[in-house]
């Protein structure tokens, strides 16, 4: 358990929690181990829990329409997943698969409610860390969208190029 507590300390979700708070938290979470290839979360299903990787790595995969998987991210120890469905009941937006043997903990909304009652300070710190993680992700998303907009700008250029080409051939070829 001491090992696991030490690992929790390294996780950004638990930044600022002291030893006692971590011990109290650890009583509320469930530990689980997965073998290589195991699907921890399944896109489209709803299983409300917030996961933290203690050991091993996972990949976040989005299943595309044509059946080929698109890897969105690789999560290392300390990485979290399931947070969107945890905060708001909705089907998982992606599948999480174990790339190695994975040791994880997860906390259910019910257990988190319990923490709020018993140690509101710890719950608040976790909530604040979660907000930071989400806002960081939102920032990266913004940058990505800007990039996409630029790309579509390029496509418009391409359209201009095509228009020029067809005009030269159709109207101005003698």
Partner 1 sequence: MSSYETASRYFENAADVMGISPNMRKLLRTPQREVKVQVALEMDDGQVETYIGYRIQHDSARGPMKGGLRFHPEVDADEVLALATLMTWKTAVVNIPYGGAKGGISINPRELSPGELERVTRKFVDEIHDVIGPDKDIPAPDMGTGPQEMAWIMNQYGKFHGYNPACVTGKPVELHGADGRNEATGRGVAILTKALLDRYMSPLKEARIAIQGFGNVGSFAASFLHEMGASIVAVSDVSGGIYNPEGLDIPALLKYQTEHGSVEDFPDTAQMNNAELLAADVEVLIPAAIGNVLTGENAGDVRAKFVIEAANNPTTPEADEIFAKREIIVLPDVLANAGGVTVSYFEWVQNRQHFRWDLQRVRDELDRIMVDSFEKVLTIASEKHVSLRVAAYILGIGRVGRATVLGGI
> Which residues are near partner 1 by CB under 8 A?
157, 160-161, 163-165, 167-169, 171-174
Q: Classify residue 85 by its DSSP letter.
A: H
Give min distance, CB of 85 to partner 1, in A: 47
- For the chain, give the number of residues: 174
> Considering beta carbons, is residue 71 or 165 the nearer one to partner 1?
165
Give min distance, CB of 151 to partner 1, in A: 18
> Considering beta carbons, is residue 139 or 158 the nearer one to partner 1?
158
> Considering beta carbons, is residue 120 or 161 the nearer one to partner 1?
161
First to last CA, the chain: 84
Give min distance, CB of 169 to partner 1, in A: 7
Structure tokens at 82: 């399931």
Give min distance, CB of 163 to partner 1, in A: 7
Give min distance, CB of 165 to partner 1, in A: 4
> Considering beta carbons, is residue 64 or 152 the nearer one to partner 1?
152
């Amino acid at each position: 358990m001491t090992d696991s507590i030490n690992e929790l300390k390294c996780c950004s979700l638990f930044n600022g929690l002291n030893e006692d708070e971590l011990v109290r938290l650890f009583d509320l979470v469930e530990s689980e181990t997965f073998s290589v290839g195991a699907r921890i979360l399944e896109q489209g299903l709803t299983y409300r829990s917030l996961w933290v990787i203690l050991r091993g790595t996972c990949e976040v995969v989005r299943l595309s329409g044509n059946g080929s998987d698109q890897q969105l991210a690789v999560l290392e120890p300390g990485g979290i997943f399931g947070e969107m469905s945890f905060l708001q009941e909705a089907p998982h937006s992606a599948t999480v698969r174990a790339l190695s043997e994975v040791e994880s903990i997860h906390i259910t909304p019910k257990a988190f409610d319990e923490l709020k009652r018993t140690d509101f300070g710890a719950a608040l710190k976790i909530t604040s860390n979660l907000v930071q993680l989400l806002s960081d992700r939102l920032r990266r998303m913004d940058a990505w969208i800007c990039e996409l907009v630029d790309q579509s700008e390029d496509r418009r250029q391409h359209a201009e190029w095509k228009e020029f080409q067809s005009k030269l051939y159709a109207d101005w070829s003698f």
